[in-house]
């Protein structure tokens, strides 16, 4: 669990496709107050609506870290990138990276950071030794996002719910489990980089004992049905010991992303599969809502998708970026649910 110095200068390099800048866009969307500006290498680089600044200009405006908001092909750092990162270190900025390769693997960056007293944050990597999970029931309450697939809105759903709960006066904390979430929150654990035997223990560490009415809103990872990433999902599910779950789904998808031979489960099948695994470490676990990513649908089709999902599951259904999420919070605060959580 890292402690990243904010605010950020978002480094967009030469990315021309918004899909390549998902990290920068996520930080801009959910931590706008922590973004001083953007740094682009070419005029054709995507513009995310922040002031164009050099590292020195950003430092003068109060930036404390340069955040790498795009991923290079193959995980290596092009020479032009290294030149910019060195300039950022010289300007007094730390470097924040979500890449699989550690920044210290590049000798010039390691030497400059050591010489200048700057920090290289490799948010996918942790030097913490995580314990094996205990399965001990912890105080406080937990809300976990789970999905029918990867990359369909678990992070955005968790952030939107955290915001809505805080606006209601509920003591809620967003718990990041992926690199972009960590950059938004300033801390967390990249669960997909934890050794398999310790994933559930890392999840316990991420969401420790808390006040009885405190909610940890935990970003999900992977999907229980994914042929490659189901393992991280199950470990996070067991270690989180969620009281409440929200199922995230993209109604425009019929098969697993990049795995066309694997059809997605129905909402009913997904709920039926997740629930017994959640109840293994928290018998009171239950679903409180369904989050649909309707970004590929027009409004009428999106509303019909929400209505259909509600009819099939009986749960509040929402799109965190298009339609209200109050019904999910209402469900979590309802008498029967609160009584079940308290009795567990």
148-190 pLDDT tens trace: 999 899 999 999 999 999 999 999 999 999 989 999 998 899 9
| pLDDT band for position 263 (cuts 50, 70, 90) | very high
Residues with Cβ within 8 Å of 129's Cβ and at least 6 positions away in sequence, in order, are none
Quick one: which H or E segment has residue 230?
helix 230-240
Q: How many residues does the chain have?
A: 344
Share of residues in the chain with pLDDT > 90 (%):
83
Provide the pairing of β-strand 259-263 with 255-256: antiparallel
pLDDT-derived band of residue 100, with 50, 70 and 90 as boundaries? confident
| From the candidate CATH numbers 1.10.150.120, 3.40.1160.10, 3.30.750.24, 3.40.50.300, the one assigned to the domain spanning 141-343 | 3.40.50.300
Q: What is the pLDDT of residue 72?
A: 73
Return the pLDDT at 1. 57
Bridge partners of residue 120, in order along the sequence: 95
Provide CATH 3.40.50.720 ranges for the chain.
Answer: 8-122
Copy the structure tokens of residue 100.
Answer: 């699989």
Provide CATH 3.40.50.300 ranges for the chain.
Answer: 141-343
Fold type of domain 8-122? Rossmann fold (3.40.50)
Contact 225, 148 (CB under 8 A): yes
């Amino acid at each position: 669990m890292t402690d990243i110095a904010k605010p950020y200068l978002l480094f967009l390099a030469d990315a021309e496709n918004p899909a390549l800048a998902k990290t920068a866009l996520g930080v801009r969307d959910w931590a706008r107050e922590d973004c001083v500006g953007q740094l682009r290498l070419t005029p054709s680089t995507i513009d995310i609506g922040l002031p164009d600044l050099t590292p020195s200009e950003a430092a003068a405006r109060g930036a404390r870290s340069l955040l790498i908001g795009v991923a290079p092909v193959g995980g290596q750092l092009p020479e032009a990138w290294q030149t910019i990162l060195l300039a950022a270190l010289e300007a007094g900025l730390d470097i924040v990276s979500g890449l699989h390769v550690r920044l210290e693997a590049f000798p010039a960056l390691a030497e400059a950071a050591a010489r200048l007293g700057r920090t290289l944050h490799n948010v996918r990597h942790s030097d913490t030794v995580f314990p094996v999970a205990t399965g001990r029931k912890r105080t406080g309450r937990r809300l976990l996002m789970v999905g029918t697939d990867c990359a369909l809105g678990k992070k955005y759903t968790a952030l939107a719910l955290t915001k809505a709960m805080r606006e209601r006066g509920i003591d809620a904390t967003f718990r990041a489990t992926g690199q972009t979430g960590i950059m938004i929150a300033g801390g967390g654990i990249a669960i997909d980089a934890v050794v398999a035997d310790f994933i559930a223990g890392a999840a316990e560490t991420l969401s420790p004992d808390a006040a009885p009415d405190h909610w940890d809103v935990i970003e999900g990872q992977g999907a229980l049905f994914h042929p490659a990433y189901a393992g991280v999902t199950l470990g996070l599910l067991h270690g989180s010991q969620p009281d409440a779950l929200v199922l995230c789904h993209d109604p425009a998808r019929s098969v697993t992303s990049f795995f066309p031979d694997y059809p997605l489960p129905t909402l009913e099948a997904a709920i039926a599969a997740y629930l017994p695994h959640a109840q293994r470490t928290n018998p009171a676990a239950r679903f409180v809502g369904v989050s649909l990513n309707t970004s590929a649908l027009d409004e009428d089709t999106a509303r019909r998708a929400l209505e259909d999902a509600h009819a099939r599951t009986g749960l509040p259904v929402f799109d965190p970026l298009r339609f209200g999420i109050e019904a999910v919070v209402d469900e979590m605060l309802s008498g029967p649910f609160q009584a079940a959580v308290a009795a567990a």
